[in-house]
Structure 1
Amino acid sequence: MAGKREKAEDIVMKLRQVEVLQGQGAKLADAVRQIGVTQQTYYRWRREFGGMNRDQLKRLKELEKENTRLRRAVSDLTLDKLILTEAAPGKLLSPSRRRQCIDHIRQELGISERRACRALGQHRSTQRKIPVGRQDEALLTADITELARQYGRYGYRQITGLLVQAGRCVNHKRVERIWRREGLKVPQKQKKSGRLWLADGSCVRLRAERPNHVWSYDFVQDRTADGRAYRMLNIVDEFTREVLVIRVKRKLNSVDVIDALTDLFILRGPPEFIRSDNGPEFIATKLRNWIETVGAKTAYIEPGSPWENGYVESFNARLRNELLDGEVFYTLREAQILIERWRKHYNSVRPHSSLGYRPPAPESIVPVDQRPTMH
């Protein structure tokens, strides 16, 4: 009997047997001897199981089992809290981030891979899988970085458009992943204005429906390095988004506007409408009579409502954001050359979001299999 561990049911049965023997007049020592244990063992058993029947013993075992389960649950929750606290800095949105975090947690807390994966929702096969990137990942990353350096005010969608123009088969999601991984900054997006329509759904301005339907023009002012001001006359085709001309001079008046429009009318023909604000250069009688004479119509916006001339206003913002704010012009001639070069780039290369990230007026259409790749 030495070394044998009694079951709880057997202990209760032997205690009841001792009670029966004592009830028959047997001494305690003789009764204990009959069940095969010492008196010390008997007293210990009676202290632990005395007065219990089988149903009560069963209930005790269930409570002990439930207590063990609850202690294990509390322990697991405590460990989960430690794991989540250790993993708190940063969001775990991708398997690679979770993989790195789990390795870090295992090193810091000394827990198993299985436990860490369960706490952070990572499948163990995903944790053990060695990621294999695409063969062109390094080359594409270099191209994206170079384009971001060259065009510092472009976001990842415009960079995607440039890559597609160059013949790269890539979508914006992959470019965005590399963009964020490399820590490249996306220019701030301007909030879209919703004031082009009245409450009854009617349009508050004429909308372009085809090329040469509606042109819009406006002035932008800047200064050269010596502090002297110069002005730019910007003329935009609202349908194609093409910048038809940027006339750069120290001073511009209604005669200069007529001169710029004359060159465009000879080259492209007059549009049906020309939209502008109510600046003195645009409402001059000489200019209005000349426009009516050549067969076009003027469309003026409401005073103090620049959003009604949104296309050219948006272009003015792009011009200032992507060129004027980042360049120092020492002479007027330098400003004329660089602004004209940027205008050609804007028309033929720069991806435009409203055109499906294609340029407004590409110089040529090259088949995909003949496009140059970027290195």
Structure 2
Amino acid sequence: MTFRPVYRFGCLLLGWLRLPARSCAARDVEILVLRHLVAVLQCSSGKPVFTGGDRAVLAVLLRLLGKRRRSALKLLVTPRTVLRRHASLVVKEWTCPHRRPGRPAKPGALRALVLRLARENDGWGYRRIHGELLNLGWKVAASAVWEIVQRAGVDPAPRRADRSWARFLKAQAAGIWATDVFHVDTVFLRRLFVLCFIEHDTRRVHIAGVTRSVTADRATQCARNLLMSLDGTRTAGIRYLIRDNAGYVTEGFDAVGASVGARVVPILPGVPGMNAIAERRVGSCRREATDRVLITGERHLRLVLDEYAGHHNGHRPHRSLGQRCPDRIGAPAPPAADGPSRILRRDRLGGLIHEYAQVA
């Protein structure tokens, strides 16, 4: 037991005695190799990982050492490691690139379009979406459409249908008009009455008349003048006309609505919520226009209401229309602002209302 440590100490001592006989270059190369191995160990947490630069440096340094010195060093790199690296290079050079089995993936634009059609049309199945894609110029199989909607987790058409009250009422809004009368007090404490109409589906407002006293004959004549001034295609689509039970409403007023094929629907007494859309529009007109201006007379009120109606129909966004204005429901969306752009402001009602537009 005591001989083995003595023997190992003797071998180590003979190795130290041989160091002066070696050249300085060989010692420097061996030190550089060992230092580089230590650096690799310090950079690695666990198994040593050699980069391409590490392999190149070790290859050059080991080439400068003799065969006996290379075999005497305890290196992290073995001949088996070099052979394995060479084999991987050969495989990478001559092996064909791996290709996933099956059909190629569908374009991202096609997937986005299929999901958009399914989202915007809750009653469409994959066959109906497939037909719409063919009309749009996409040559795709119906099975591909089915695969896209299945992977996205989209339910079949009957389960996806929206049966909420909001969706139901919005579908019935086409062809429904409402009328209401509201008053405005002038600066001289005289009361003026305004007869207005509003379309439920587009939220477009029409000012029928401004009068000092609302009577049955005056209201009937204002309604008749408005319907005669509109396009026949617009008035032909009126199916229902909602009105209140005020004293100015007589059989003559109902006859004007019936002349365009509309069914006049009076609200119940004491239930203004049955004409909620018209009441909401009157409140907006008061808050944004008439309550902020001192009205001097009938002509002045007519100018203010016409200016506000132009703003309401041509620029003011509405949540029920997807933040679009009534006159731009079918117009294309404005260009996206992806950076600094010039914004033009237009003032209405003497600067009480501002309208902004993007200048190209």
Tell me the TM-score normalised to structure 1 length: 0.41
Higher relative contact order (CA 8 A, sep 6+): 1
Larger strand fraction of residues:
2
